[in-house]
Amino acid sequence: MYVCVTGSSGMELDRADDEVYYSAIESFINGSLDVGYSYIYPRDEEDLLHQVDHFTPKNDKGHKPIYIFVWSKLSLHWDVASITDIVKVLASEFLHMSVEEVQLIRIATYEETKLAYERDYKPYAPQ
């Protein structure tokens, strides 16, 4: 079984409030795709400034996402090898680039990733 873990960041999903997200996860888990995506789109004028620059699906208002969740069945764990594989997939899907080699220049510490989460994701997470 493959699970998208979001609760580890302190954000708990409520089945009733997040039914669309739950359904998307279940469809991915039970489907045939190896990689799936879910998007958070701008909620207000300030969020519009944070839309991604690359190719992505637009919502019904014509906005690009501000955050992309990636789900993968390519590996059982998010280790260096699976991250490398996903970077290649993301480059192909969203940047239309073929990447042969991915180099991890520096792996962030737990503290750095926690700060990045607080700065880059938490403001856009469902409340």
**Domains of the chain: total:** 1
* 2 domain-assigned: no
Predicted local distance difference test score (pLDDT) of residue 9:
40
**What pLDDT, on the 0 to 100 scale, is given for residue 122?**
82
Distance of alpha carbon 10 from alpha carbon 83, whole angstroms: 22
Residue 1 lies in a domain: no
pLDDT per residue as tens digits for the range 25-82: 889 989 999 999 888 888 888 888 888 888 889 999 999 998 888 888 888 877 888 8
The whole domain housing 108 covers 7-124
Query: Which phi and psi (to 5°) does residue 90 adopt?
Result: -60, -40
Has residue 102 been placed in a domain?
yes
Which ranges constitute the DSSP H helices of the chain? Answer: 19-30, 45-48, 80-95, 110-116
Token look-up 């879910």 returns 38
Query: Residue 39's closest CA among 54, 29, 79, 30?
Result: 54
* Residue 26 located in a structural domain: yes
Rounded distance between C-alpha atoms, residue 48 and residue 58, angstroms: 12
Q: What's the pTM?
A: 0.66
Would residue 97 count as lying in a domain? yes
Query: Per the domain annotation, does 72 fall within a domain?
Result: yes
